Amino acid sequence: MTSGVVRAAYSARAAEYTSLFGAISSTHPADRELVLSWAQGLSGKVLDAGCGPGQWTAFLHSDGVDVQGVDLVPEFIETAKQFCPDAQFSVGSLERLPTPDHSLAGIFAWYSLIHTPPAGITRVLNEFARCLKPGGSLLLGFFAGPAGESFPHAVTPAYFWSLEEMSGRLQEAGFT
């Protein structure tokens, strides 16, 4: 799945996606608790990688986290800027983040890699590793299942990852 296909699919359904999932209230309370606990342990800038319409970025920002968002979909970025005008947002690819080397305390990638095919996942994880400070932290959400198996997703096909396979890929990219 190319980023162009993913961008086009989400662009076509951006308003619908935002109305269904664009509020933090649409997320599970346990997820919000996990994300806040993770972010509160960081010192420095956090990137919401694949921020969508910015609900998680705004949630983290409201808790005092120095967070910025990046997403492939221009419509999501426009919505995010309206939703959280005090945070910085940009259109960009997770394979080429608009971030200096070793500049982030954390990267939050909540189900934003689900459309990345197995052949491309290492490239994204290497990019995350490039952007994180030594000792930086990655919080990654994904669908657990048979590694690399695609499944029909409401917007465009997505991929499962087993915990073992994702752990191995993360280690290959330098994560511990």
Model confidence pLDDT, tens digit, residues 110-129 = 999 988 999 999 999 999 99
Could you report the per-residue pLDDT of 37-53, keeping only the tens digit for each? Answer: 999 999 999 999 999 99
pLDDT score, position 149: 86
pLDDT score, position 11: 62
User: Which residues of the chain are modeled with pLDDT < 50?
Assistant: none
pLDDT score, position 2: 64
Q: Which CATH architecture has domain 3-172?
A: 3-Layer(aba) Sandwich (3.40)
pLDDT score, position 43: 96
Contacts 24+ apart (CB under 8 A), 169-175: 169/121, 169/122, 169/125, 170/125, 170/138, 170/140, 172/122, 172/125, 173/122, 173/125, 173/126, 173/128, 173/129, 174/126, 174/129, 175/125, 175/129, 175/138
pLDDT score, position 93: 94
Q: What is the pTM of this model?
A: 0.90
Whether the CB-CB separation of 44 and 133 falls below 8 Å is answered with yes
With the CA atoms of 54, 140, 39 and 87 taken in that order, what torsion angle do they form, in degrees rounded to the nearest 10? -20
pLDDT score, position 38: 98
Dist. CA 170–CA 176, nearest whole Å: 8
Question: Residue ranges per domain, the chain?
Answer: 3-172
Dist. CA 51–CA 105, nearest whole Å: 17
